[in-house]
Structure 1
């Protein structure tokens, strides 16, 4: 399983490749969002019967929500990737920190036990 992941990312540098692609996707979606929002305003100000306008508005609002959801998903993925990168760097830099948080709760409970039995 891990081997397959390595082969798929080896074509581009894993650090820059995916996040740059995600950033450009987000930018494209934001342009699309602006365009849809403009269309929505134009429909609201346009002539035409109320029913047709409402149908167009509902369709545009659905598209806007879908685009917003895509943007949010991409931003979450970007943040997750950033977080994993940061965590990977931190664990390389301070491998001893990895064990420290796990040790302290045990010491706390031991301390609490000593207090109660003292």
Structure 2
């Protein structure tokens, strides 16, 4: 699951550079904390499910390939349905790629 916070560019540019930097620092810290709390909650939720007798299985390679292919098709379907523009999808995918790259480097 992913979440996005959108800030209007015109409104953001109206605040001082100093305040923009403060906003970035504070929101960055808040989102890192939310990520941390979500990971902890996920671990606790999985443990609670295990205690209730839920057994987790690993999907087959074939099933995983289908899941990834289905997930990859979602943006194209949203574009065709007029829910998102190609530009929006490109921007979101680039931001996600950049974020994942930062997370990968942060773990090293």
Per the TM superposition, whether the score is higher than 0.5 is: no
Q: Select the structure that is richer in helix.
A: 1
**With structure 1 as the length reference, what TM-score do the two structures score?**
0.36
Q: TM-score, with normalisation over the residues of structure 2?
A: 0.38
Bigger radius of gyration: 1
Larger RCO (CA within 8 A; separation ≥ 6): 1
